[in-house]
Amino acid sequence: PIILKKYNWCLENYDKHVLLFKL
């Protein structure tokens, strides 16, 4: 489903933001 795809995308983005924040 599209919702699940969007949720996965949000998780990926969240991980990237956390990495940037830790830098």
Residue pLDDT, tens place only, 2-21: 777 777 777 777 777 777 77
Q: What type of residue sits at position 21?
A: F
> What gap in Å lies between CA 15 and CA 10, rounded to an integer?
9
> What is the pTM assigned to this prediction?
0.28
3-state secondary structure of 23: coil
Residue environment code for 1-23, b if the CB has 16+ CB neighbours within 10 A, otherwise e? eeeeeeeeeeeeeeeeeeeeeee
Give the pLDDT of residue 9.
77
Would you place residue 23 in the very low, low, confident or very high pLDDT band (cuts 50, 70, 90)?
low
Tokens of 12: 């990926």
Would you place residue 1 in the very low, low, confident or very high pLDDT band (cuts 50, 70, 90)?
low
